[in-house]
Chains A and B, each alone.
Chain A
């Protein structure tokens, strides 16, 4: 089925460790997004990519980096994880136009 695939689904990190969250879409969309979801705060945009080769900061980019590897893949990297980065991370593709977004199933990250 067409959609958005995120890996891993769960991860526990120690403070200071690094990791990369992977996201791939097979919907042939140009735009991809990374959001984090925290209780009572909805979804907040971390980074987005309007097209292959471009990335831009969202609302909460500090502590994160991204790579748009090709049209399908958009990864999110935590270089030195902090407890404040404990959250559920969602990747999405699509746009605010006719399609809206399609979301992945999320990565639940805990930093201890």
Chain B
């Protein structure tokens, strides 16, 4: 069965510092991979997605993610974090039948 692991429950970074959020997945075939962001009290917004082709994908708000098949990873990165990036981030893998399986989430705190 498909699964997603986000090893870090909480991460704190200083404003202006770089960010990397980890995501590992388990899926037998070529995966569809997604990152979503959830601001407090809000729904989830799609940041970026990977289906095929270039393994480095660009998303909204200056985020990017790199698909590494050999490591079953899809880590999210941002070169310089802004205070407004504080939120919870979810990695997801496309399972069969149009369903997504989500990781448990990583809460990002940004300190000034």
Contacts and interface: CB of A to CB of B under 8 A. Distances in A.
Interface of A: 4, 31, 33, 35, 40-45, 48, 50, 58, 90, 92, 95-98, 100-106
B28 to A, nearest CB: 14
Interface residues of B, number: 25
Closest 8 A-B residue pairs measured CB to CB?
Answer: A96-B94, A95-B98, A103-B43, A42-B104, A42-B102, A43-B102, A103-B44, A105-B43
B42 interface: yes
B59 to A, nearest CB: 11
Contact of B46 (A97, A101, A105, A106): A101
B104 A41 contact: yes
A28 B32 CA distance: 22
Interface of B: 4, 6, 9, 32, 34, 36, 42-46, 49, 51, 90, 94-95, 97-105
Contacts of A42: 4, 6, 90, 102-105
